[in-house]
Protein backbone atom coordinates (compact mmCIF):
# COMPACT_ATOMS: atom_id res chain seq x y z
CA UNK A 1 0.00 0.00 0.00
CA UNK A 2 1.31 3.44 -0.92
CA UNK A 3 1.74 5.41 2.33
CA UNK A 4 3.88 8.27 1.08
CA UNK A 5 3.15 11.83 2.22
CA UNK A 6 1.19 12.81 -0.95
CA UNK A 7 -1.00 9.71 -0.80
CA UNK A 8 -1.74 10.28 2.89
CA UNK A 9 -2.73 13.87 2.05
CA UNK A 10 -5.01 12.50 -0.61
CA UNK A 11 -6.60 10.04 1.83
CA UNK A 12 -7.09 12.87 4.29
CA UNK A 13 -8.87 14.94 1.63
CA UNK A 14 -11.19 12.07 0.73
CA UNK A 15 -11.95 11.28 4.36
CA UNK A 16 -12.69 14.93 5.02
CA UNK A 17 -15.18 14.86 2.18
CA UNK A 18 -16.92 11.76 3.56
CA UNK A 19 -17.02 13.14 7.10
CA UNK A 20 -18.46 16.46 5.89
CA UNK A 21 -21.07 14.58 3.87
CA UNK A 22 -22.29 12.85 7.05
CA UNK A 23 -21.79 15.30 9.91
CA UNK A 24 -22.21 18.59 8.11
CA UNK A 25 -20.10 21.62 7.52
CA UNK A 26 -21.02 23.22 10.84
CA UNK A 27 -19.44 20.45 12.86
CA UNK A 28 -16.33 21.77 14.60
CA UNK A 29 -14.79 18.31 15.02
CA UNK A 30 -14.42 17.35 11.35
CA UNK A 31 -10.62 17.39 11.39
CA UNK A 32 -10.50 15.36 14.62
CA UNK A 33 -12.76 12.72 13.06
CA UNK A 34 -10.59 12.56 9.97
CA UNK A 35 -7.44 12.26 12.05
CA UNK A 36 -8.94 9.56 14.28
CA UNK A 37 -10.01 7.55 11.22
CA UNK A 38 -6.55 7.79 9.71
CA UNK A 39 -4.86 6.85 13.00
CA UNK A 40 -7.04 3.74 13.39
CA UNK A 41 -6.45 2.81 9.77
CA UNK A 42 -2.66 3.05 10.11
CA UNK A 43 -2.71 1.05 13.35
CA UNK A 44 -4.68 -1.68 11.59
CA UNK A 45 -2.25 -1.60 8.69
CA UNK A 46 0.76 -1.96 11.00
CA UNK A 47 -0.91 -4.95 12.67
CA UNK A 48 -1.60 -6.49 9.26
CA UNK A 49 -5.34 -6.45 9.95
CA UNK A 50 -6.23 -5.30 6.44
CA UNK A 51 -6.80 -8.48 4.48
CA UNK A 52 -6.92 -7.02 1.00
CA UNK A 53 -4.59 -4.05 0.80
CA UNK A 54 -5.46 -3.55 -2.89
CA UNK A 55 -9.06 -2.83 -1.92
CA UNK A 56 -8.34 -0.83 1.23
CA UNK A 57 -11.09 1.75 0.52
CA UNK A 58 -13.86 -0.43 1.92
CA UNK A 59 -11.83 -1.05 5.08
CA UNK A 60 -11.06 2.63 5.54
CA UNK A 61 -14.71 3.44 4.92
CA UNK A 62 -15.75 1.06 7.68
CA UNK A 63 -13.24 2.61 10.08
CA UNK A 64 -14.46 6.12 9.30
CA UNK A 65 -18.13 5.07 9.60
CA UNK A 66 -17.43 3.69 13.11
CA UNK A 67 -15.61 6.87 14.12
CA UNK A 68 -18.62 8.96 12.97
CA UNK A 69 -21.10 6.67 14.77
CA UNK A 70 -19.12 6.81 18.01
CA UNK A 71 -18.92 10.58 17.71
CA UNK A 72 -22.69 10.88 17.23
CA UNK A 73 -23.37 8.69 20.25
CA UNK A 74 -20.96 10.73 22.36
CA UNK A 75 -22.50 14.05 21.32
CA UNK A 76 -26.02 12.80 22.10
CA UNK A 77 -24.94 11.34 25.46
CA UNK A 78 -23.11 14.43 26.62
CA UNK A 79 -25.34 17.50 26.39
CA UNK A 80 -23.24 20.41 25.25
CA UNK A 81 -22.46 23.15 27.74
CA UNK A 82 -22.67 25.79 25.08
CA UNK A 83 -26.29 26.04 23.86
CA UNK A 84 -25.10 27.50 20.55
CA UNK A 85 -22.87 24.55 19.75
CA UNK A 86 -24.25 22.73 16.71
CA UNK A 87 -25.23 19.08 17.14
CA UNK A 88 -24.34 17.15 14.03
CA UNK A 89 -27.16 15.12 12.65
CA UNK A 90 -28.06 14.24 9.12
CA UNK A 91 -25.40 16.60 7.83
CA UNK A 92 -25.46 19.35 5.28
CA UNK A 93 -24.45 18.97 1.69
CA UNK A 94 -20.72 18.98 1.18
CA UNK A 95 -21.32 21.72 -1.33
CA UNK A 96 -20.87 24.06 1.63
CA UNK A 97 -17.21 23.21 1.20
CA UNK A 98 -17.46 24.58 -2.30
CA UNK A 99 -18.54 27.99 -1.00
CA UNK A 100 -14.94 28.57 0.00
CA UNK A 101 -13.90 28.34 -3.63
CA UNK A 102 -16.79 30.14 -5.27
CA UNK A 103 -14.41 32.78 -6.57
CA UNK A 104 -12.55 30.20 -8.60
CA UNK A 105 -15.58 28.29 -9.88
CA UNK A 106 -15.78 31.12 -12.36
CA UNK A 107 -19.13 30.03 -13.70
CA UNK A 108 -17.91 27.53 -16.23
CA UNK A 109 -21.40 27.08 -17.63
CA UNK A 110 -21.66 30.66 -18.87
CA UNK A 111 -21.26 29.79 -22.50
CA UNK A 112 -23.41 26.70 -22.42
CA UNK A 113 -26.58 26.54 -24.48
CA UNK A 114 -29.80 26.79 -22.48
CA UNK A 115 -30.81 23.30 -23.62
CA UNK A 116 -27.54 21.78 -22.34
CA UNK A 117 -27.98 23.56 -19.04
CA UNK A 118 -31.49 22.13 -18.65
CA UNK A 119 -30.24 18.65 -19.46
CA UNK A 120 -27.50 18.91 -16.83
CA UNK A 121 -29.93 20.28 -14.28
CA UNK A 122 -32.22 17.31 -14.91
CA UNK A 123 -29.35 14.91 -14.17
CA UNK A 124 -27.60 16.60 -11.26
CA UNK A 125 -30.30 18.58 -9.51
CA UNK A 126 -33.55 16.80 -10.34
CA UNK A 127 -32.02 13.30 -10.12
CA UNK A 128 -33.68 12.10 -13.33
CA UNK A 129 -32.66 8.95 -15.21
CA UNK A 130 -30.56 9.22 -18.34
CA UNK A 131 -33.15 7.33 -20.43
CA UNK A 132 -35.86 9.71 -19.31
CA UNK A 133 -33.73 12.77 -20.18
CA UNK A 134 -32.73 11.39 -23.59
CA UNK A 135 -36.37 10.65 -24.38
CA UNK A 136 -37.55 14.12 -23.42
CA UNK A 137 -34.89 15.88 -25.49
CA UNK A 138 -34.84 13.40 -28.36
CA UNK A 139 -31.17 12.59 -27.87
CA UNK A 140 -29.07 9.51 -28.40
CA UNK A 141 -26.69 8.15 -25.75
CA UNK A 142 -23.78 9.59 -27.70
CA UNK A 143 -25.27 13.10 -27.76
CA UNK A 144 -25.98 12.91 -24.04
CA UNK A 145 -22.41 11.85 -23.43
CA UNK A 146 -21.09 14.83 -25.43
CA UNK A 147 -23.18 17.32 -23.43
CA UNK A 148 -22.11 15.76 -20.17
CA UNK A 149 -18.40 15.46 -20.79
CA UNK A 150 -18.07 18.82 -22.52
CA UNK A 151 -19.55 20.48 -19.43
CA UNK A 152 -17.39 18.50 -17.02
CA UNK A 153 -14.27 19.40 -18.92
CA UNK A 154 -14.85 23.07 -18.03
CA UNK A 155 -14.66 22.23 -14.35
CA UNK A 156 -11.50 20.14 -14.42
CA UNK A 157 -9.43 23.32 -14.42
CA UNK A 158 -11.27 24.51 -11.29
CA UNK A 159 -10.70 21.15 -9.67
CA UNK A 160 -6.99 21.41 -10.48
CA UNK A 161 -6.91 24.79 -8.74
CA UNK A 162 -8.71 23.33 -5.72
CA UNK A 163 -6.12 20.56 -5.47
CA UNK A 164 -3.28 23.11 -5.57
CA UNK A 165 -5.00 25.17 -2.86
CA UNK A 166 -5.54 22.11 -0.66
CA UNK A 167 -1.99 20.89 -1.07
CA UNK A 168 -0.61 24.36 -0.30
CA UNK A 169 -2.63 24.61 2.92
CA UNK B 1 -17.34 -1.50 -8.87
CA UNK B 2 -18.18 2.04 -9.89
CA UNK B 3 -15.26 2.77 -12.22
CA UNK B 4 -15.74 -0.48 -14.10
CA UNK B 5 -19.17 0.78 -15.12
CA UNK B 6 -19.90 2.50 -18.38
CA UNK B 7 -18.99 6.25 -17.93
CA UNK B 8 -22.57 7.51 -18.08
CA UNK B 9 -23.70 4.89 -15.56
CA UNK B 10 -20.91 5.98 -13.26
CA UNK B 11 -21.98 9.59 -13.71
CA UNK B 12 -25.51 8.65 -12.66
CA UNK B 13 -24.22 7.09 -9.44
CA UNK B 14 -22.21 10.24 -8.81
CA UNK B 15 -25.17 12.51 -9.57
CA UNK B 16 -27.37 10.56 -7.13
CA UNK B 17 -24.67 10.65 -4.46
CA UNK B 18 -24.32 14.42 -4.81
CA UNK B 19 -28.08 14.97 -4.73
CA UNK B 20 -28.36 12.53 -1.79
CA UNK B 21 -30.79 10.27 -3.56
CA UNK B 22 -28.70 7.09 -3.26
CA UNK B 23 -29.88 4.60 -0.64
CA UNK B 24 -27.62 4.09 2.37
CA UNK B 25 -26.22 0.80 1.11
CA UNK B 26 -25.22 2.35 -2.21
CA UNK B 27 -23.70 5.35 -0.39
CA UNK B 28 -21.55 2.95 1.66
CA UNK B 29 -20.49 1.10 -1.45
CA UNK B 30 -19.62 4.27 -3.34
CA UNK B 31 -17.70 5.81 -0.43
CA UNK B 32 -15.79 2.57 0.10
CA UNK B 33 -14.85 2.74 -3.53
CA UNK B 34 -13.81 6.38 -3.90
CA UNK B 35 -11.67 6.24 -0.75
CA UNK B 36 -9.48 3.85 -2.68
CA UNK B 37 -9.97 5.24 -6.18
CA UNK B 38 -8.49 8.62 -7.11
CA UNK B 39 -10.16 8.67 -10.50
CA UNK B 40 -13.72 8.29 -9.17
CA UNK B 41 -13.09 10.78 -6.37
CA UNK B 42 -11.88 13.33 -8.90
CA UNK B 43 -14.87 12.69 -11.17
CA UNK B 44 -17.18 13.23 -8.22
CA UNK B 45 -15.56 16.49 -7.19
CA UNK B 46 -15.67 17.80 -10.76
CA UNK B 47 -19.36 16.83 -11.02
CA UNK B 48 -20.03 18.53 -7.72
CA UNK B 49 -18.51 21.76 -9.00
CA UNK B 50 -20.68 21.50 -12.07
CA UNK B 51 -23.80 20.89 -9.98
CA UNK B 52 -22.95 23.83 -7.71
CA UNK B 53 -22.62 26.09 -10.72
CA UNK B 54 -25.93 24.88 -12.13
CA UNK B 55 -27.58 25.92 -8.91
CA UNK B 56 -26.29 29.45 -8.99
CA UNK B 57 -26.25 29.87 -12.71
CA UNK B 58 -28.22 33.11 -12.79
CA UNK B 59 -26.32 34.82 -9.98
CA UNK B 60 -22.72 35.80 -9.49
CA UNK B 61 -21.24 36.16 -6.08
CA UNK B 62 -18.24 38.02 -4.76
CA UNK B 63 -16.80 39.08 -1.45
CA UNK B 64 -16.18 42.77 -0.95
CA UNK B 65 -14.87 43.99 2.42
CA UNK B 66 -16.31 40.96 4.22
CA UNK B 67 -19.71 41.43 2.60
CA UNK B 68 -21.26 39.12 0.00
CA UNK B 69 -22.41 40.90 -3.14
CA UNK B 70 -24.96 39.04 -5.27
CA UNK B 71 -25.50 40.16 -8.83
CA UNK B 72 -27.65 38.77 -11.61
CA UNK B 73 -25.61 37.74 -14.65
CA UNK B 74 -28.23 38.85 -17.12
CA UNK B 75 -31.50 40.75 -17.06
CA UNK B 76 -33.65 39.06 -14.44
CA UNK B 77 -37.26 39.05 -13.30
CA UNK B 78 -38.08 38.43 -9.66
CA UNK B 79 -41.50 37.04 -10.38
CA UNK B 80 -43.56 34.07 -9.27
CA UNK B 81 -42.39 31.59 -11.90
CA UNK B 82 -38.85 32.88 -12.56
CA UNK B 83 -35.93 30.63 -11.67
CA UNK B 84 -33.99 33.72 -10.55
CA UNK B 85 -36.28 33.84 -7.53
CA UNK B 86 -35.39 30.28 -6.62
CA UNK B 87 -31.68 30.98 -7.06
CA UNK B 88 -31.89 34.08 -4.89
CA UNK B 89 -33.65 32.09 -2.17
CA UNK B 90 -31.02 29.35 -2.27
CA UNK B 91 -28.14 31.78 -2.37
CA UNK B 92 -29.33 33.80 0.62
CA UNK B 93 -31.35 31.42 2.78
CA UNK B 94 -29.27 28.27 2.44
CA UNK B 95 -25.82 29.75 2.81
CA UNK B 96 -23.91 30.93 5.84
CA UNK B 97 -23.17 34.49 4.72
CA UNK B 98 -25.04 36.94 6.91
CA UNK B 99 -24.01 40.31 5.41
CA UNK B 100 -25.39 40.52 1.94
CA UNK B 101 -25.83 43.15 -0.77
CA UNK B 102 -28.22 42.35 -3.59
CA UNK B 103 -27.44 44.23 -6.76
CA UNK B 104 -30.75 44.93 -8.48
CA UNK B 105 -29.31 46.76 -11.49
CA UNK B 106 -30.28 43.96 -13.88
CA UNK B 107 -33.69 43.30 -12.34
CA UNK B 108 -36.32 44.43 -14.81
CA UNK B 109 -39.50 43.35 -13.02
CA UNK B 110 -40.62 42.41 -9.53
CA UNK B 111 -44.03 41.06 -8.55
CA UNK B 112 -45.51 40.29 -5.13
CA UNK B 113 -43.62 36.97 -4.97
CA UNK B 114 -40.36 38.80 -5.63
CA UNK B 115 -41.08 41.43 -2.99
CA UNK B 116 -42.01 38.65 -0.56
CA UNK B 117 -38.74 36.88 -1.32
CA UNK B 118 -36.69 40.02 -0.69
CA UNK B 119 -38.50 40.38 2.65
CA UNK B 120 -37.82 36.72 3.54
CA UNK B 121 -34.13 37.18 2.74
CA UNK B 122 -34.00 40.33 4.84
CA UNK B 123 -35.77 38.70 7.83
CA UNK B 124 -33.56 35.61 7.60
CA UNK B 125 -30.36 37.66 7.63
CA UNK B 126 -31.51 39.92 10.46
CA UNK B 127 -32.47 36.87 12.54
CA UNK B 128 -28.94 35.58 11.97
CA UNK B 129 -27.47 38.83 13.26
CA UNK B 130 -26.65 39.98 9.76
CA UNK B 131 -28.04 42.59 7.41
CA UNK B 132 -29.10 43.06 3.82
CA UNK B 133 -28.79 46.10 1.58
CA UNK B 134 -29.92 46.69 -1.97
CA UNK B 135 -27.85 48.23 -4.71
CA UNK B 136 -28.61 50.13 -7.90
CA UNK B 137 -32.27 49.43 -8.61
CA UNK B 138 -33.52 50.74 -11.97
CA UNK B 139 -35.86 53.81 -11.62
CA UNK B 140 -39.06 51.78 -12.10
CA UNK B 141 -37.91 49.16 -9.57
CA UNK B 142 -36.91 51.91 -7.14
CA UNK B 143 -40.38 53.42 -7.52
CA UNK B 144 -41.97 50.08 -6.68
CA UNK B 145 -39.73 49.60 -3.64
CA UNK B 146 -40.67 53.10 -2.44
CA UNK B 147 -44.39 52.56 -3.05
CA UNK B 148 -44.45 49.31 -1.09
CA UNK B 149 -42.33 50.76 1.71
CA UNK B 150 -39.62 48.15 1.25
CA UNK B 151 -36.97 50.81 0.70
CA UNK B 152 -37.64 52.28 4.14
CA UNK B 153 -36.90 48.90 5.67
CA UNK B 154 -34.03 47.73 3.48
CA UNK B 155 -31.44 50.42 2.77
CA UNK B 156 -30.78 51.09 -0.88
CA UNK B 157 -27.52 52.44 -2.31
CA UNK B 158 -26.30 53.58 -5.71
CA UNK B 159 -22.63 52.94 -5.03
CA UNK B 160 -21.21 49.56 -4.06
CA UNK B 161 -18.39 50.87 -1.85
CA UNK B 162 -20.89 53.00 0.09
CA UNK B 163 -23.13 50.00 0.55
CA UNK B 164 -20.19 47.92 1.81
CA UNK B 165 -19.09 50.71 4.19
CA UNK B 166 -22.62 51.00 5.59
CA UNK B 167 -22.25 47.55 7.20
CA UNK B 168 -19.62 48.96 9.54
CA UNK B 169 -21.70 51.94 10.67
Range of the domain at B9: 2-55
Q: Name chain B contacts of A14, Cβ cutoff 8 Å.
A: 34-35, 41
Q: Tens of pLDDT along B28-47?
A: 999 999 999 999 999 998 89
This complex has an ipTM of 0.77
Nearest-CA distance A79 → chain B (Å): 23
Clarify whether residues B25 and B70 are in a common domain: no
Specify the pLDDT at position A169. 60
Clarify whether residues B27 and B13 are in a common domain: yes
Q: Which of residues 18-47 of A touch B (CB under 8 A)?
A: 18, 21, 25
Among chain A residues, the shortest Cα distance to B64 is held by A103
B63 vs B25, residue with greater confidence: B25
Interchain contact, A129 vs B12, CB within 8 Å? yes
Clarify whether residues B22 and B88 are in a common domain: no
CA distances from residue A96 to A92, A93, A126, B53 in whole angstroms, order as listed = 8, 6, 19, 13
Specify the pLDDT at position B136. 95
The answer, for B52 touching chain A at a CB cutoff of 8 Å, is yes
Q: Which of residues 77-136 of B touch A (CB under 8 A)?
A: 95-96
Q: Name chain A contacts of B7, Cβ cutoff 8 Å.
A: 145, 149
Q: Name chain A contacts of B32, Cβ cutoff 8 Å.
A: 57-58, 60-62
The CATH number for A104's domain is 1.10.10
- What is the Cα–Cα distance from B136 to A163, expressed in whole angstroms? 37
Interchain contact, A61 vs B57, CB within 8 Å? no
Q: How confident is the model at residue A95 (pLDDT cuts 50, 70, 90)?
A: low
The CATH number for A62's domain is 1.10.1740
Clarify whether residues A117 and A155 are in a common domain: yes
Residue A40 near residue B60 (C-beta atoms within 8 A): no
Q: Which of B11, B20, B73 sits opposite A148 (nearest CB)?
A: B11
- What does residue B77 show for φ and ψ, rounded to 5 degrees? -115, 130
Clarify whether residues A73 and A109 are in a common domain: no
Domain count, chain B: 2
Say yes or no to pLDDT of B100 above 90: yes
Supply the mean pLDDT for chain A. 79
Give the global pTM.
0.62
Specify the pLDDT at position A99. 57
Q: Name chain B contacts of A159, Cβ cutoff 8 Å.
A: 42, 45-46, 49
Domain count, chain A: 2
Q: State the CB neighbour count (10 A cutoff) for residue B48.
A: 23
Clarify whether residues A72 and A120 are in a common domain: no
Range of the domain at A66: 5-77
Mean pLDDT, range A43-64, rounded to an integer: 88
The CATH number for B162's domain is 3.30.750.24
Residue A26 in domain: yes
Supply the mean pLDDT for chain B. 87
Say yes or no to pLDDT of B53 above 80: no
Amino acid sequence: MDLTEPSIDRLRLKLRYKVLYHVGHNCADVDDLVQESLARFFRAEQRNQIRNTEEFGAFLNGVCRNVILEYRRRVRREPSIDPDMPIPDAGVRPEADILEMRDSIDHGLNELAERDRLILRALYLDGREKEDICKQWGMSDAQFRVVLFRAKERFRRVYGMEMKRTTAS
Amino acid sequence: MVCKKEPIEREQVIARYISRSLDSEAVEEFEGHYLGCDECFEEMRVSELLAADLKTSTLTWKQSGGVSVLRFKANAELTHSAQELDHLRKEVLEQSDSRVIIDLSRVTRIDSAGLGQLMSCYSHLVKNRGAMKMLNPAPEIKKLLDMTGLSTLIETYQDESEAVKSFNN
